[in-house]
Structure 1
Amino acid sequence: MEPEGPKTAEGRRKAGKAAKAPEPVPVLPVDVFDSHCHLDMLEMTVAEAVEKARQAGIRRIMTIGCDLPSSEWAVKAASEHPDVYAGVAIHPNDTKGLTDDVLARIAELARDPRVVAVGETGLDYYRDHASREEQQSSFRAHIAIAKETGKALVIHDREAHDDVLRLLDTEGAPDKVVFHCFSGDAAMAEVCADKGYVMSFAGNVTFKNAQPLRDALAVAPLDLLLVETDAPFMAPVPYRGKPNASHLIPFTVHLMAEVKGVPVEELCSAIAGTGSRLFGFPEG
């Protein structure tokens, strides 16, 4: 016998809606921040994104540039919103034909006090939008800009771990290095920990098939962790497949705390401390 269900079309419709109701977003006990977001790509205003994030315990948002227009946009957004900060750079996928004039403008933007990071830069061997030589030349230039300005270097590393680490060694890594949307395994996490590189985890760490990422998170030191959205991409479970935004970070934080075996409050405090050390954010 089939189980008893709604007797009418209206009942079935209401039951279907109830089954698909979004899970409430938990509020974090200690303010943290979204270390990597693309506010220019969201389907909401900056003010709306900031307010929704604040209600979930996300105090600050770093909006990241991927090319010159988005980097200039990020600086403008940060200048207009006190809880928004900027990162400026040319994404490795956009380095084909990159000119010295564009890099000079990125260096100029990086000196702005609302800019706290040079990124996202790095290497992406998954796509072939630019040659490896072009990407590596750009990465070297961004490493130099980060060192010159004293800003944190935010790295995009996709299927290029060995070359990213090699270039950091040969060029001399800045004092502050962040691997955005960390994609390495536990062995890579141990290398980063030995070098003092910060690892930022995104919503994909909550995915069912992301056990290697959770293994990496497990061995990463608490004081070398950040959390991010990379919004509008990679929304965490239970919002996977939907547009991401900073206010969904608590789902990632709760999973991270579970993997680390620490209370959520302790992890939040550690993330806040790393934000203070890397970006100058007040911890209170």
Structure 2
Amino acid sequence: MVNCSTTLPASWYTSKAIYSLERQAVFLKSWMLLGAVTRWPEVGKDYSYDLAQIKFLVRRDSADPKSLRVFSDPEGREMRSHLTPTGLLFMTLSDETASFEEYFPGLEDLIAHVDFTKFQVRRTLKYPGNYNWKAMVDGFQECLHCPYAHPAFSKAYAPTTYEIRNKHNYSQHFVETDRPDDGLFLYFFPNSTLNLYAGGMSSFRACPSEDPAQTTMLFDYYHCEPDGSEEFENYFKFARTVGLEDHDLCEKTQANLEAGIYTEGVLNPDKENGVAYYQGQVLEMCSAQFREETVGA
């Protein structure tokens, strides 16, 4: 397993050739979080998605969440999916991807204490980001810069206690808090997250486009209290503040990368180990794909 000591070069955020490699090597060979089962409440409705230029549908056939299925669009071929015992739905775009248990070893045990079915989806957002998908993951996978990047978050969750432990294809974030069952932060390689904090739950997916400088961001916000309640609105305001801060930082970072102001930098082995881990994964998988294509040419 590669752990990068420096960031990936700027070209990995601006090159169409690199994204083409990432698409084949990473996105077509990974399991990705789609959300909690409450994200698709209507029986018989097709919920449409597009990931790595592949369209697919999520459909619930009955009130039982176990009836959730994923289908290619428009062909209607059932795609591989996995529903955890606690109510999270994952999918993969390829029949060749490793099994869920092999791809995310130990994950189901880690999240066994959380009943995700009690969190109802309250608000969903979809918007474009003028940045590479990795820019958003970079920001999530470290908290070294939290004190000035996320001042409100840093008041509630002390950055000095923040720690990231990398597993196999996912990372768990730890931070000291005086609130029980608060502060569960998970990153799922390559492009999705799950955050349980401040009384609610959120998830994002950074969906790449054919333009390496453009990403579609999908955010889902869940809560036990109803939409419009004071509890949910306070949570949503807090969570969206963090999301908007990340969005602005990513756009500024991308502009600097494209202008040549920034090329690559040294990663802090303790405070940026999450970035080092996931970028190492990208590099290793893309290198293997490149060798495969070169030999086969």
Select the structure that is richer in helix. Answer: 1
TM-score normalised according to structure 1 size: 0.26
Instruction: Flag the structure with more relative contact order, 1 or 2, with Cα contacts below 8 A and sequence separation at least 6.
Output: 2
Select the structure that is richer in strand. Answer: 2
